Amino acid sequence: MKRYFITGLLIWVPLGITAWALKFLIGTMDQSLLLLPARFQPETLVGFYIPGIGTVLIVLVVFLTGILTTNIIGQRLVVFWEGVLWRIPVVKSIYYGVKQVSDTLFSSQGEAFRKALLVQYPREGSWTIAFMTGYPGGDVVNHLEGEYVSVYVPTTPNPTSGFFLMMPKSDVIELDMSVDAALKYIISMGVVTPANGKKHPAPHEAVLLNTTRAASSPSSEKT
């Protein structure tokens, strides 16, 4: 009875959480329709609410913005717009702070979240997966001896929160693992093991392997 109930939970809990997350995201993005005049909103035109229209609108706007800003005229408009924002005191600090972070994370030339690392945290002997976000800068460099890297250590199962550390480059191990695989490993709390790792032998296989090694060792041949 208990086994059947747990099996049912394993089926419905992921589905329920996925459905809730999608509903939340779609509902949030559908709020963008409120920017349209009331007579042009889909609910007014059709007569009933259609979920997902706002999501499609946001995707189209982002896509068209990318197309327009890749040409010379679009780039000049972006420079003009950023020049206007630069003259507004409070807006300038917020906009350029967010822009630096987004450029670092999403730019193809950036190094942020391009490498998965293995680091010792929170103490020596305890290992966890982290991501390289760059290198220390500013006055911080004047107080660090040797080569350091900036590291983000995410928490599990929510990798959006974590800790920012500056660690010696010699203390981090670069993994032959994609960022997606590392994130799945973290979110699953180590349950979803990356495919390119060494397979851990089953208990009966480990016993057989140890017996074989003991039989083939030099000490056993002498006896």
User: How much of the chain, in percent, has pLDDT values that exceed 70?
Assistant: 83
Q: What is the mean pLDDT of residues 189-204?
A: 65
Residue of 165, 163, 160 whose CA lies nearest to 183: 160
pLDDT digits (tens, 9 = 90+) for 67-76: 888 888 888 8
Overall pTM surpassing 0.75 (yes/no): no
Q: What is the mean pLDDT of residues 106-132?
A: 84
Q: Which two tokens stand for residue 71?
A: 């040409």
Which residues is 166 bridged to in the sheet?
150
Main-chain dihedrals φ then ψ at residue 117, nearest 5 degrees: -125, 155
HSE of 88, CA atoms in CB hemisphere, 13 A: 11
List Cβ neighbours of 167 (8 Å cut-off, separation of 6 or more): 119, 148, 149, 151
How far is residue 80's CA from residue 150's CA, in Å, rounded to a whole number? 33
